[in-house]
Structure 1
Amino acid sequence: MAILPIHLPDASWYPAKGDRATLFLRFIARRFLVFGILIAFVLFTISRMFYGREAFLEISGTSQERQHSRWPGVRLPPLYSRYHQYELALPQHHWHATSHEDEPKFFFVPGHTWGLGWGNAMQEILLNAYLSYKSNRANERHSRFVFYNYTWNMDPSQDYSDYSGKPIPSRVPLSALIAVNHIIRIEGPIVGGAFPDGQHAPFAIAEEYYRTICEGRKRVLDREEIHKEIGSSMVDPITKGWVQKLSTVDDQCVEVARGQDGGIYTWIIFGEKDAMHDVWADFAASPIITHFRWSPLVELAFDNNREVFAPTTVFEAPLSTIPYAVPSAQRYAMMKGLLALHIRRGDYAVHCDGLANWSSSFLSFNSLQGLETFRIPEGGGWGENTPENIAIYRRHCFPTVEQIVARVSEVLRSESARGLESVYIMTNGAVPWVEELKTALLNTGSFKHVSSSRDTVLNWEQKYVAQAMDMLVGQRAQVFIGNGWSSVTGGVVVMRQANGFHPDSTRFF
């Protein structure tokens, strides 16, 4: 075996004197290099951790440092950045395309509801999306529905708005309230998801995408002129009139000029008790309703608070475990044993007096055929009413604890109320008042469990979409008693009726 020659100095563990200083310096340099790399790594890790934490806090809205000069020292609401980014990343948004001419038409209603509660916004969104769907069914060239934020403040420079002295988000992306899943493409047609099989309608797009690619080439339709030709405040002729008008427009980017009262479907239409009668069957059977699904954020809030609403059995699966493809009627099946009450407080007393003074009927969503009706008392004037009539409106619109208990006791005698054991109170009432009501309901001896919106536990993002979670509870309750003039009640009623709940199980105060 051959052995390579070895130079003696290299074979010794102890180098010659002349080399020792050099090696010592090398030794020190190596140690400093290793030490420097270690320090850099530690600093990098800390910075990433800090950056990641700040990024997370910014997204989730939990940073205590984020403040605003208008609300010093107050924790600001979340801005739902993740949801905005998710919507803009939908695959139907061809941001980098050189041309958009081969895309379907776009239909946008910029004069939509803003500055009002979620119930008001939701009822209009459902009908705007339905109109777009009907337009697609009637025309060869399909159009994309342009969905928009739930908006409290239209000013893009104002991230926060003042609500009774407290900050709220000026804009909440629709995907934080209504579901969309573009990965499996099986539900969420309102917010950019797929329509069910056999429905060849294009995916909806976000307002920001529409405004970007349609800049300088929009066709604006005169809302006032078209409605003058339609000559009706009923939803069916309004929808058909707009479908006919849209069929004559070949422009790719089409939007509706804001009218004196707002968009296409206004508060006047929603206040007309018969407005939904002729359109109801088709509306309820459309994918806008049959494939309506609440967002994962709302459903998670529901799952986390399921035991608050009513005790469950071991056989009931959380909503988050139910497959996405399950239609709304099966997904949101009845919760047996639960009575849900929707009771408005706060400044609603003033609103009720206004309703009385104008002898208002229930809203259109609360006046569907088969439901109990409100008989407008005689003797009222135009802008004024008698004290007796105002008291009647108050009993239905702003009931006292005693009146609520009396109404519940009355409904308990109906066939649909058999087996009720729990009560969930959907309310914005002050905690002391809510506790008084809970005690009064328990003292009737009819219920084992009574809870309210004030008992739920929500994370920071869920807090600002809590109305949607309450609507989901009301939608699934065995019996629901609501406020006939409330749009939140209206959203619950529409979903209950469309999902096949017996009309006798849906009541009003």
Structure 2
Amino acid sequence: MLALFLLASYLLLSPEPWPVSLHIAKRPPDFKAWHDAELALPQNNASLPPPQGRQGRYVRFSNHYTHEGWGNVMQELLMNAHLAYVANATFVMYNYTWDPYARGDASLFLFTKVVPARTPMSALVAGPVAGGSYPEEAWRPPAVTPEFFEKICPEPTLFDVSRLKNESEIHPWTSASDIMDVFSAHIQTSRDNCMEFKADTGRIFDWDLFANVERMRSLWPTFKHSPILTEWAWSPLVSSILRDNYARIHPLAGDAESNSILPGLLAMHIRRGDFVRHCTRLADRNQTYQAFNAFEGMLDQFVPPRGWGGERNQAYYDAYRERCYPEQEAIVAKVSQVRMEALEQGRPLNRIYVLTNGDAAWTKDLERELRGEGEWESVTSSRDLEVDWEQHFVAQAADMVIAARAEIFIGNAWSSLTSNVNMLRVVRGVPIETSRFW
């Protein structure tokens, strides 16, 4: 087993083509066209007049998340880009990076699945975080590529995040707005136009912050109006998944540029895989919901049961599990309840879309159970989408598009993906009572 792992690792790290005869795995896409398009962005031009070109002020976040799922990466991406916006510095784009140390295009996920080592951000999203323009009333110089930054900033001022946090007395309970103010001041007062947060020195905005509604609350009134959020859009690659699959999802889902609600659609996010263990860890921490799953007015809120600091019995862990890792019977019961309540509110539901990382057999069985509990025009899931090889690696983003536009959304309140969906729903003015939880 060790020999096989070492062989696979060598092949993945090698810049040479894999020997076809070994059939280790299909090589992931290199996303070359997307990367080339980023390099060709007109703002990557040293001759542009200030505040662009050589006289611009730039900030690069080399300390960004790696080896993390898209939900966590998206949270940090939004906050990093908003920090650059607040500090009036040009944001330096970065890839969605799984493995920063891979020499080639491929890496391994959990030692078994071959995945892209890095994906250009423009293959996932559009808007200011991917080099798109800002609205006129909130204009900033558009984001540039790391390659351009390295060209005009060969020796940037390097910031050590952990050291700055210590010096600024930022603690695990410091609010998001205070953290934003502290780091914005560091950027604004720098004498150098070229700034970089060093890799491996900690994160400015970490998981504990996004998981704490009290710490995030103070930032939300300004953050929700940031063009980083209001101009958020999805890439043409993600949009193509919806155009190719709208007949399976909803008749109106093919217009991927629209943010309009898909009437009658119930979308639900059901985590499987690592969450079977993660839900226990959440219980051990007595963890509350992710911050953007705890907006005022949201239904199905959860008060952690007693047990923090003392003995936890099975009932304590069961209380978390039934919300965090619901089984099929509970899922079907919740769907029936939500459908009835939606009808009473004048929102008849007639279609289901399931966002899930559950295996194909489990998901198909769930689809059958849901069809058996009521008449639905369609019941489909992530596993039913037909995608090509490039689309396959951004399909989670397509799930988020569908969930953000669903008439009713049931999510996993400890999930960053659910949190991001609800954040987008609130920013777009979707009624807050349409976001539900297990």
TM-score, length-scaled by structure 2: 0.89
- Paired AA for residue 379 in structure 1: G
Deviation at 1:96, TM superposition (A): 8.0
- Partner residue in 2 for 1:49: none
Checking the alignment, whether the CA contact within 8 Å between 2:422 and 2:435 is kept in structure 1 is: yes
Is the alpha carbon distance of 1:368 and 1:257 closer, same or farther for their aligned partners in structure 2, counting shifts above 3 Å? farther
Is the alpha carbon distance of 1:235 and 1:446 closer, same or farther for their aligned partners in structure 2, counting shifts above 3 Å? farther
**Secondary structure in 1 matching 2:107:** strand
**Secondary structure in 2 matching 1:319:** coil
- Partner residue in 2 for 1:377: 305
Matches within 5 A, 1:112-123: 112-123=64-75
1:151-185 CA-to-partner distances (Å, cap 9, x unmatched) read: 00011514211124121000000000012xxxxxx
Give the fraction of aligned pairs with identical amino acids, expressed as a percent. Answer: 36
Checking the alignment, whether the CA contact within 8 Å between 1:362 and 1:484 is kept in structure 2 is: yes
Cα distance in structure 2, aligned partners of 1:237 and 1:500 = 27
Cα distance in structure 1, aligned partners of 2:41 and 2:137 = 22
Checking the alignment, whether the CA contact within 8 Å between 2:65 and 2:76 is kept in structure 1 is: yes
**Secondary structure in 1 matching 2:212:** coil
2:396 equivalent to 1:430? no
2:176 equivalent to 1:235? yes
Deviation at 1:292, TM superposition (A): 0.7
Cα distance in structure 1, aligned partners of 2:253 and 2:62 = 40
Cα distance in structure 2, aligned partners of 1:167 and 1:461 = 13
2:269 equivalent to 1:357? no
- Paired AA for residue 224 in structure 1: S
Checking the alignment, whether the CA contact within 8 Å between 2:242 and 2:253 is kept in structure 1 is: no
Cα distance in structure 2, aligned partners of 1:230 and 1:194 = 35
1:423-457 CA-to-partner distances (Å, cap 9, x unmatched) read: 00001111111111111111111523211111110
- Partner residue in 2 for 1:29: none
2:292 equivalent to 1:341? no
Matches within 5 A, 1:11-22: none
Checking the alignment, whether the CA contact within 8 Å between 1:109 and 1:263 is kept in structure 2 is: no
**Secondary structure in 1 matching 2:305:** coil
Matches within 5 A, 1:234-253: 234-253=175-194
Deviation at 1:201, TM superposition (A): 0.7
Q: Specify which of 274, 280, 293 is matched with residue 366 of structure 1.
A: 293
Checking the alignment, whether the CA contact within 8 Å between 2:339 and 2:348 is kept in structure 1 is: no
- Paired AA for residue 177 in structure 2: D
Q: Which runs of 5+ in 2 are unaligned?
A: 1-15
- Partner residue in 2 for 1:410: 337
Deviation at 1:347, TM superposition (A): 2.2
- Paired AA for residue 115 in structure 2: I
Deviation at 1:88, TM superposition (A): 0.9
1:16-54 CA-to-partner distances (Å, cap 9, x unmatched) read: xxxxxxxxxxxxxxxxxxxxxxxxxxxxxxxxxxxxxxx
- Paired AA for residue 293 in structure 1: A
Deviates more, 1:223-232 or 1:436-445: 223-232
Deviation at 1:258, TM superposition (A): 4.6
Cα distance in structure 2, aligned partners of 1:301 and 1:471 = 12
Matches within 5 A, 1:16-165: 67=18, 72-94=23-45, 102-136=54-88, 143-164=89-110, 165=112
**Secondary structure in 2 matching 1:485:** coil
Is the alpha carbon distance of 1:154 and 1:338 closer, same or farther for their aligned partners in structure 2, counting shifts above 3 Å? same
Is the alpha carbon distance of 1:167 and 1:102 closer, same or farther for their aligned partners in structure 2, counting shifts above 3 Å? closer
Deviates more, 1:362-371 or 1:121-130: 362-371
**Secondary structure in 1 matching 2:389:** coil
- Paired AA for residue 435 in structure 2: T
Deviation at 1:319, TM superposition (A): 2.3
- Paired AA for residue 483 in structure 1: N
Cα distance in structure 2, aligned partners of 1:68 and 1:403 = 48
Deviation at 1:91, TM superposition (A): 0.9
Deviation at 1:116, TM superposition (A): 0.9
Matches within 5 A, 1:445-456: 445-456=374-385
2:332 equivalent to 1:386? no
Is the alpha carbon distance of 1:336 and 1:101 closer, same or farther for their aligned partners in structure 2, counting shifts above 3 Å? closer
Deviation at 1:130, TM superposition (A): 0.8
2:257 equivalent to 1:257? no
Q: Specify which of 255, 259, 273 is matched with residue 319 of structure 1.
A: 255
Deviates more, 1:123-132 or 1:406-415: 406-415
Cα RMSD of the aligned pairs, angstroms, is: 2.3
Checking the alignment, whether the CA contact within 8 Å between 2:156 and 2:195 is kept in structure 1 is: yes
Checking the alignment, whether the CA contact within 8 Å between 2:351 and 2:376 is kept in structure 1 is: yes
Cα distance in structure 1, aligned partners of 2:335 and 2:399 = 19
1:224-268 CA-to-partner distances (Å, cap 9, x unmatched) read: 2432325353211111122222221121111123565x3210112
Q: How many corresponding residue pairs?
A: 414
**Secondary structure in 2 matching 1:423:** strand
Deviation at 1:504, TM superposition (A): 0.7
Matches within 5 A, 1:472-491: 472-491=401-420
- Paired AA for residue 119 in structure 2: V
Checking the alignment, whether the CA contact within 8 Å between 2:92 and 2:146 is kept in structure 1 is: yes
2:156 equivalent to 1:218? yes
Checking the alignment, whether the CA contact within 8 Å between 1:417 and 1:505 is kept in structure 2 is: no
Checking the alignment, whether the CA contact within 8 Å between 2:268 and 2:353 is kept in structure 1 is: yes
Cα distance in structure 2, aligned partners of 1:236 and 1:292 = 21
Deviation at 1:277, TM superposition (A): 1.3
Is the alpha carbon distance of 1:338 and 1:221 closer, same or farther for their aligned partners in structure 2, counting shifts above 3 Å? same
2:135 equivalent to 1:196? yes
- Partner residue in 2 for 1:15: none
- Paired AA for residue 34 in structure 2: Y
Is the alpha carbon distance of 1:70 and 1:400 closer, same or farther for their aligned partners in structure 2, counting shifts above 3 Å? farther
Checking the alignment, whether the CA contact within 8 Å between 1:411 and 1:417 is kept in structure 2 is: no
Checking the alignment, whether the CA contact within 8 Å between 1:271 and 1:364 is kept in structure 2 is: yes
2:199 equivalent to 1:280? no
Relative contact order, CA 8 A, sep 6+: which one is greater? 2
Cα distance in structure 1, aligned partners of 2:261 and 2:67 = 33
- Paired AA for residue 363 in structure 2: V
Deviates more, 1:250-259 or 1:483-492: 250-259
**Secondary structure in 1 matching 2:424:** helix
Cα distance in structure 1, aligned partners of 2:125 and 2:156 = 28
